[in-house]
């Protein structure tokens, strides 16, 4: 879906919006990383103030996927930092969406990857590896399931049950 905006996707897919097959996340995320526009199939992780599972996923080949992290909306620590984002960039992830905080913003902004997060925070998370993977998550008013598709640009973030063509 190169160079098609999320607004154009919405305009061209009104029936999918009405049916709930195409959903827009509430506009609560800050934009980080050099890649402001990204899309790909979703991999979900649910954690709380722990980034062990996040790091495990980003060590894998991304193959253009988007990691969607439900961090419970915590703003008490950062569950994603610069090192894992550099690794994600190098491993071919298209983007990371974090319902929580990140840190090392300058380093992340230098990476060729798309990152959305609630805010930045200097305190790091624990690394116990606690959480769930590949489970449905509820973020920004929207249920997101593993295997769905994300489309993000500067207008917002869309989630689709299937890959879209416009």
Q: Is 82 annotated as a binding residue?
A: yes
Cα(126)–Cα(130) distance, rounded to whole angstroms?
9
Question: By CB neighbour count within 10 A (0-12 exposed, 13-18 middle, 19+ buried), where does 48 fall?
Answer: middle
For residue 81, say whether it is annotated as part of any ligand binding site. yes
Q: Is 104 annotated for ligand binding?
A: yes
Separation CA 75–CA 22 (nearest Å): 28
Strand partners, 99: 70
Q: What is the DSSP string of 104-125?
A: -HHHHHTSSSEEEEEEE-SSBP
Task: Find, among 139, 117, 116, 123, the residue nearest to 49 by Cα.
Answer: 123
Binding residues: 81-84, 103-104
Binding residues for Mg(2+): 104
Binding residues for substrate: 81-84, 103
């Amino acid at each position: 879906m190169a160079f098609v905006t999320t607004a154009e996707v919405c305009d061209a897919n009104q029936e999918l919006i009405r049916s709930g097959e195409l959903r827009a996340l509430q506009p609560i995320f800050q934009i980080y990383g050099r890649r402001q526009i990204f899309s790909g199939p979703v991999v979900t992780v649910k954690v709380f103030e722990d980034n062990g599972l996040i790091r495990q996923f980003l060590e894998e080949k991304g193959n253009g996927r988007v990691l969607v992290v439900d961090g419970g909306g915590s703003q008490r620590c950062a569950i994603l930092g610069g090192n894992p984002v550099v690794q994600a960039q190098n491993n071919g992830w298209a983007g990371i969406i974090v319902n929580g905080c990140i840190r090392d913003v300058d380093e992340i902004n230098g990476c060729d990857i798309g990152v959305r997060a609630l805010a930045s925070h200097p305190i790091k998370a624990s690394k116990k590896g606690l959480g769930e993977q590949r489970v449905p998550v509820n973020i920004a008013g929207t249920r997101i399931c593993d295997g769905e598709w994300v489309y993000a640009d500067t207008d917002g973030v869309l989630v689709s049950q299937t890959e879209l063509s416009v």
